[in-house]
Amino acid sequence: MTSFHLFEKNQLVKIPSEFNFPDEKISKQILEKMLILTPVLAEDERILVGKIVSSTGMNPETDLKLIELQLGEIFDHKNYDTSRIEYILLFDFPTERTNWNIRIKTSYEWISQSGFQLMIADSLKSISKSTPLKKKLWAELKKITQK
């Protein structure tokens, strides 16, 4: 039985430059102003997100990056270029599911974190059914609309 060798043992092979990969980590660039992290949403919840973002004067089509994660999935901000993000809003998304070094619960207050403002709110389903929660959310959203 014969064996086939594409290259001889100890043979040097030049790799074409188009196959040289940079050593730096490739990240997904987020160009929007607001990032929203949430568990997977129903269609009515997506519509509510659009209304929330619109209420701030931002355009949901161009200013919002919505990332929906499956249960147990972790958001690793190191995989993203978040340099343009000004606001991050977490709906029913505990900080334990991120690799940020913060551990806070639902706050409905903007918290300064690594160059952006972070707010943690209840689920969109809970907010849509509760006038007090809507008021708490709107009170904080008004702060960014006045900037």
Tokens matching residue 41 = 């949403």
Question: CATH number for the 28-145 domain, one of 2.60.120.620, 3.40.470.10, 3.40.50.300, 1.20.1250.20?
Answer: 3.40.470.10
Q: What is the pLDDT of residue 125?
A: 92
Report residues of the chain scoring pLDDT below 50. Answer: 1-8, 10-27
CA-closest candidate to residue 144, choices 43, 64, 67: 64
What would the pLDDT profile of 83-100 be if each residue is shown by its tens digit?
788 898 989 887 777 766
Q: What is the pLDDT of residue 22?
A: 43
- Exposure of 104 in the CB half-sphere (CA atoms within 13 A): 17
Domains of the chain, residue spans: 28-145
pTM of the model: 0.72
Q: What is the pLDDT of residue 4?
A: 43
